[in-house]
Amino acid sequence: MILLVLALVVSAWSDVDAHRRTRDEQTALQRARAQLSALRRQEVQTTRIRASTTTKRDQLDTFIKLTLAELWTTNVSLNQARVAAYLQGMDINTLETCLGGIEEALGAIKAGDNTQATRDISRVAGPCTQLDGGTASGLVYPFDFADPDVIRVGTTYYGYATNSVGGNIQIIESTNLVHWTAMGSALPQLPSWANANYTWAPSVSYIGGQYDLYYAADPIGSSDECISVATSPSPLGPFVDSSTAPLKCQSSLGGAIDPNSFVDTSGAAYLLWKTGTAGSAKIWAQQLAPSGTSFTAGSTPVTILLPDRPWEGGNIEAPDLVEAGGRYLLFFSGNDWSTANYAVGVASCAGPLGPCGDASSSPILVSGNGMAGPGSESVFADASGDMWMAFDAWAPGAVGGSNGRGLYIRSVDLSGVPSVGDPP
């Protein structure tokens, strides 16, 4: 009898426990269903947001392409490869900020207000630099700033470049080599003999108590490229060129381009430049008169360097002469400027008038680390005496004449065979 009672008790307890477990399982199932329903609602919402974001990005991408095409007609370039790199994952706010500034600059250009356009560009230089991957590669100014020349006056650095949105000769300034502000056009008016919108490769030096700006220009009615000079009491300009004819043309050689002014420790000034194309390229030098606006009486130009290395592809250009530790070092660019093969080399010279010979069998700066086709170099010292190289380069994957070249700055060691190092 006792065993029967115990069996009934156990049976009753098991039945109660089973009901309890069933209720628990039903409760857990209901909770799971509720969570699944919430997850499905969240998935629908996420899908909706993703679709909205994708649509927005597609719209921005279309706007970018249209804006870039329009900006290129005014020689301002934020190329599509840079934007494409951004679209792989960078913050969309950065893109909108950059594009907003560019759109405002474009509106100012259409209204004929290039001064306001340069302000708009400067305001978004930081966000637009991020579109190019930041400053790790040495990029400090992400807009079209080809053929740069950088000088230091006191604690301020001035950068000059080929004509673009900033005017005939662009000018930007900085106090730390990293953040640059567009200042407009260094050369507001061209001489009467020069074609508009064809001014490039400036070089500025303090000579004879004034700043002399050398630049290349196309004479009206001629296919030659020639060099001229403008003057100003200030590195900011405005520089004035009142000449009635170019300073140097060398028409028999196809014209003269890429001027570089150099002042030695004695105060004597020289001008270097390039003539010819691949197969006929030469770099020349000639002493300047004390004013810098003409050549020394009786002087003649001399050839100081010819292409003699395979990497140069028969072409050398963009000379930049530097005196360091009693040595004369001639930096130059070689190969085709519109390809990733463009690079920077260096030669050792007996003096400002040469002769010069390559210091190494290979270039010292080539494509890589976030940039392609580096060239048009400008070597200068900071206030501490450390040396830097400014140069232009394409964004990787966007090499060629339909894209713009940004301004890059890297340290350079001149103690032995010169080598290029880190950005500022």
CA 361 – CA 382 distance, rounded (Å): 29
Residue 3 has pLDDT above 90, yes or no: no
Least confident of 134-138, 146-150, 177-181, 280-284: 134-138
| Nearest one of 201, 158, 205, 148 to 182, comparing CA atoms | 158
Q: Dump pLDDT digits (tens) for 54-78.
A: 555 554 444 444 444 444 433 444 4
Give the DSSP letter string of 16-72.
HHHHHHHHHHHHHHHHHHHHHHHHHHHHHHHHHHHHHHHHHHHHHHHHHHHHHHHHH
pLDDT at 125: 67
pLDDT at 4: 35
Q: What is the pTM of this model?
A: 0.76
Residues 418, 385: contact at Cβ < 8 Å?
A: no
DSSP structure class, residue 94: H
pLDDT at 37: 66
Least confident of 66-75, 230-239, 343-352, 362-371: 66-75
Q: Dump pLDDT digits (tens) for 136-156.
A: 789 999 889 999 999 999 999
Residue 291 has, within 13 A of its CA and on its CB side, a CA count of 8
Beta-strand runs (E) in 253-315? 256-263, 269-275, 282-287, 302-305
DSSP structure class, residue 312: G
| Nearest one of 212, 316, 331 to 263, comparing CA atoms | 212
DSSP structure class, residue 294: S
Residues 121, 130: contact at Cβ < 8 Å?
A: no
Residues 343, 367: contact at Cβ < 8 Å?
A: yes
pLDDT at 9: 36
Q: At which residue do the structure tokens 């196309």 appear?
A: 218
Element (H, E) at 10: helix 2-72
| Nearest one of 106, 135, 102 to 406, comparing CA atoms | 135
**Is residue 400 classed as helix, strand or coil in its secondary structure?**
coil
Q: Write the CB contacts of 4 (distance below 8 Å, at least 6 apart in sequence).
A: none
Q: Which two tokens stand for residue 370?
A: 């976030």
Q: Dump pLDDT digits (tens) for 202-224.
A: 999 999 999 999 999 999 998 88
Q: Dump pLDDT digits (tens) for 5-33.
A: 333 333 433 444 444 545 555 565 566 56
Q: Dump pLDDT digits (tens) for 220-273.
A: 998 889 999 999 999 999 999 999 999 999 999 999 999 999 999 999 999 999
In the chain, the domains with their CATH numbers are: 1-134 (no CATH), 138-420 (2.115.10.20)
**Is residue 358 classed as helix, strand or coil in its secondary structure?**
strand
Element (H, E) at 120: helix 114-123
